[in-house]
Every structure is written in C-alpha cells, then in structure tokens.
Structure 1
Amino acid sequence: MKEGTVEKELKYLYALQQVDTQLQEVQDLKGDLPSIVEELQGRVNELKSKLKGLHDSLKQAKIDRDEADVGILDCGEKIDKYKGQQLHVKSNKQYDALTREIEAAEAKSLKLEKEMGLLEGKMQLFKSDIETIMPQLEELNAELEGKQKELREVNKEHEKEELKLQHEREKLVVRVEREDLERYERIRKAKGGKAVVPVKRGACGGCFNRVPPQKILEIRQNLKLYQCEHCGRILVSDHIVEMSLSLT
C-alpha cells in the first residue's frame, strides 16, 4: 500500500470508528427494549407452535374416536346379523362358525370401546392444555404489543439520526480495503466496539498501556497500520484524528 494510500486508509478507518461509536450510542438509548421484544416474540412463537400442535392432536383424536365409534356400530350390526343367522342354521358346524364370528366381533367391539375411552381421555387433556395456554398467550401478546409500541416510539425519535449515521457508514465502508475492514470488524467485536484509537500521552487510547517512543514516531509517519502490542487495537496519530473530522 502506497504512503498516501495508507494515510487515507487510516483516516477512513478512524472516521468509521467514530460513526460506529455514535451508532452504538443510539442503540444504547434504546436500552434493553430490542432484546426484550425479541425474547417476548420468541416466547409468543413458542406458545403459538405448542397451541397449534395441541389443536392438531385434538383434531386427530376426534377423527380416531369417530372411526372407533363407527367400528363399534359396525360390530354391533354384525353381531345382530350373525345371531339372526344362527336361528336358521341346519348344522352344528354352521352354528359354531357363526358363534366364532360373533365372539370375534364382540372382542373387536370391546377393543374399540377401550380405544374410545383412551381417546376421550386424551381429548380432555388436550382441551385442558389449550384452555391453560390461551390466557398465557393473550397476556404475552399484550405485553409484546406494549413493548413493540415503546420500541417504535424510541426508533422514531432517533430515526433521522440513525439513518444519517448509517448512510455515513456505508460511504466509509466502500472506501476501506476489504482486508482492513475485516480486521477492523474483528477487533471491534472483540474489544467492546473500539477497534481504532489514537495514541494519547504516549499510551494506547484503548487499553492505556504505554507505546514505545520509536513506535510512536513510526505511527506518526502514517506508512503502515500499527496495532497495540497489548490489546491489538489499530493505533492512529493526532494528524489522522484531525483529518477524520472532515469526514464525520
């Protein structure tokens, strides 16, 4: 990177840092509202999903119960039919065969009756769970709507300032080399939002550890990007700070 190019790169990086700091200050004014809204929305979605599952299970249980009921009626009709046929058979073999059919139908009917009882029990549990969740969901929705309204009001209050800063950030980002931008974002994430700091009174403006005099001289020459030996932040000279003022 050429000498003049390095100086511009440092200028853009420091200006970007100032814009990001101001954006963070705007976010801080919103307090915990964004995270509260996100957490409430997650809980609402979770309850809605659970409620849908209960409604689906209740619907299927009703279908299965009705099918069992139809099966019981069918068994009853078969039993009546077989008993009627027994009155007209001409041999013990035919009578015994019909008896076996009757016993099979009675066993199936008994099994279906047990299944119906279990399904009725499940349906009651599903209904009970639905009745428990519904007021919880209504309460959460009301709380979510209230917090969303608060957040909208805060966003509206700072909307112009935030949009202006976002626009400034976009203009600066395209001017910074991709490799340097990635380094900047990585350091900023690791160091609480501060990636580029000036050297103040012979010390790093981020961690306040002393910077060797020889390195300070090199930083003032703006020939390359220097990072603090202790915290890893990018260090800039007072000259870069002054130049950056015209960009923010």
Structure 2
Amino acid sequence: MATVKEFSVEEKLASLITLQKIESKLDEIKILKGELPMEVSDLEDEVQGLHARQNRIEEEINGIQEFINTKKNAITEADALIQKYEKQSANVKNSREFEAINKEIEMQQLEMKLAEKHIRDANEEVADKARLLEAAKKQIANKENTLKHKKEELDKIIASTEKEETAFSTSSNAAREKVDPRLLHSYDRIRKNYRNGLAVVPVLRDACGGCYNAIPPQRQSEIRQHKKIIVCENCGRILVDSDLNDSVEV
C-alpha cells in the first residue's frame, strides 16, 4: 500500500505563499481592468433599453399615423355623402324629405369637423412623439459612442494581459492542488474578507504585512521556526517570515 507523503509546515507555508503570489498577480490584472468590464456591461444594457424605447416610440407614431389616415378616409367618405345628398336635395318632393336630407348633410359636416379635430390632436401628439424620438436617438448615439471607447479601452487591456492572465490562471489551479485542503479553505475565507486579497503576508519591520499591527519578538521567533501555522491576532491573516516569503518566486 502506497504511503501518502506528509508535508512539513514549511512546505505547506511555501505552497500557500506561491498561491498568494500567483493570485496577487491576477488581482493586479483585474485592478488594471478596473471597473471597465462592469461599465461596458451596464452601457450595453442601457443601449439595449434605449433601442427598445426608440422602437416603442416609432410603433406609437405609426399607430397614430394609421389613426390619422382612418380619419382622413372618414372625411373623404363624409364629403362624398354630402355631395350625394346635395344632388338629392334638388329632386325632393316635399319639405319632410328636404329636412331629412339637410339633417344628413349636417350630420356628415359634424363628422368631418370631429375628424378634423381628431387629426389636429393626433398631429400634435405625433410632433411630441417625434421630439421624444429625436432625443432618444441622440441619447443612443452618445451612449454608443461612449460604449465604443470603453470597449476599445478594455480590448486593449485584454489584448495586452490575456497571455499573462491565462498563464497565471493555469498556475493558480496547479498551485491550489498542492495546498493542504484545510489550509486552502482558510486561505480562501481570509482572502474574501479583504479587498486587496491578501491572506498570506510576511512580517515586515516587526509588524504584520497586512494590517501593520506590531508582532511581539517571541511571536516572530515562532513564525521563523516554521513549526506551526500562525495567524495575526489583529486581522487573522496567515503570517510568514520575510526570508521564506522572499525565497518563493513566481
């Protein structure tokens, strides 16, 4: 039966330092990109929403234009009926027929006036919608221009760092496999707690390299001996001596 190698505390710390240094390099690349990926994503959503708004306004204008055309047709039909009734009025036989025809003519005239009012109101609404449409188009043009520049900026950063980022990501995955699972769990937990992502830090100038809290001489001596994993009592980060930290190169 094969025996599983038991790693020393120093080896465990070295594997943690390696992982920390690799993932700090990845963090540097993320910092270089900054908020650009999020800004690009937000702008894309915004542009999509503005296009949807533009389409909606255009559909509303088309609907109003159809309404206007319907009313214009109604005016044409009413005018045709008036002409028809006026011809009929020349051949009426009695006053009752004359009054009936006059009422029909008056009714069609009212229909024409009402249709003309509807057309005026609709044209005003079209003018309002046209102004909204023009504003939406200008807003889209501005946002698309900003999006184009942001994308170009992000693409340049990605192009310049892609190879390096891929290499460090591969190295990170490989380094993670070499770290003790329990230590890896603690490392990830500590790393998430801090914006700079530092979970493993060296003792520098008698202080924690993460929170700069003073480390007593006895504690520093224990850290240099590599007999156990020691964390900062103030910030909880894993502490290593500077010599071991400097000996690990990425």
Match in the other structure for 1:17:
20
Q: Which amino acid aligns with 1:194?
A: L
Correspondent of 1:198 among 160, 185, 202: 202
Q: Which amino acid aligns with 1:183?
A: R
Change (3 A) 1:105 1:25: same
Match in the other structure for 2:3:
none
Alpha-carbon distance between aligned partners in 1 of 2:93 and 2:178, rounded to the nearest angstrom: 101
The answer to whether residue 65 in structure 2 is matched with residue 62 in structure 1 is: yes
Q: Which has the higher contact order (CA 8 A, sep 6+)?
A: 1
Q: Any idea what SS the aligned residue of 1:194 has?
A: coil
Change (3 A) 1:229 1:115: farther
Q: 1:108: how far off?
A: 4.1
Q: 1:160: how far off?
A: 1.1
Q: Quick check: which has more Rg, 1 or 2?
A: 2
Q: How many residues align?
A: 239
**Does structure 2 retain, via aligned residues, the 8 Å contact 1:15–1:244?**
no
* Percent of matched pairs sharing the same residue: 27
Q: Any idea what SS the aligned residue of 1:111 has?
A: helix
Match in the other structure for 2:55:
52
1:113-132 mapped onto 2 (5 Å cutoff): 113-132=116-135
| Deviations, residues 59-95 of structure 1 (Å, cap 9, x unaligned) | 2221222222233334444555566667658784x77
| Deviations, residues 154-206 of structure 1 (Å, cap 9, x unaligned) | 3222221111112222334566648436513421xx33332332333542211
| Deviations, residues 76-135 of structure 1 (Å, cap 9, x unaligned) | 44555566667658784x777766665555444433322211221222233334345545
> Which range moved further: 213-222 or 126-135?
213-222
**Does structure 2 retain, via aligned residues, the 8 Å contact 1:68–1:116?**
yes
Match in the other structure for 1:163:
166
Q: Any idea what SS the aligned residue of 1:221 has?
A: coil
**Does structure 2 retain, via aligned residues, the 8 Å contact 1:37–1:144?**
yes
Q: Which amino acid aligns with 1:145?
A: K
**Does structure 2 retain, via aligned residues, the 8 Å contact 1:21–1:193?**
yes
1:58-137 mapped onto 2 (5 Å cutoff): 58-79=61-82, 88=92, 92=96, 105-135=108-138, 137=140
Match in the other structure for 2:235:
231
The answer to whether residue 215 in structure 2 is matched with residue 211 in structure 1 is: yes
Q: 1:4: how far off?
A: 4.7
Alpha-carbon distance between aligned partners in 1 of 2:29 and 2:244, rounded to the nearest angstrom: 22
- Can you give the 5+ residue segments of structure 1 that lack an aligned partner in the other structure? none
**Does structure 2 retain, via aligned residues, the 8 Å contact 1:204–1:235?**
no
Q: Which amino acid aligns with 2:115?
A: L
- Can you give the 5+ residue segments of structure 2 that lack an aligned partner in the other structure? 1-5
Give the TM-score normalised by structure 1: 0.69
Q: Any idea what SS the aligned residue of 2:203 has?
A: strand
Q: Any idea what SS the aligned residue of 1:198 has?
A: strand
Give the TM-score normalised by structure 2: 0.68
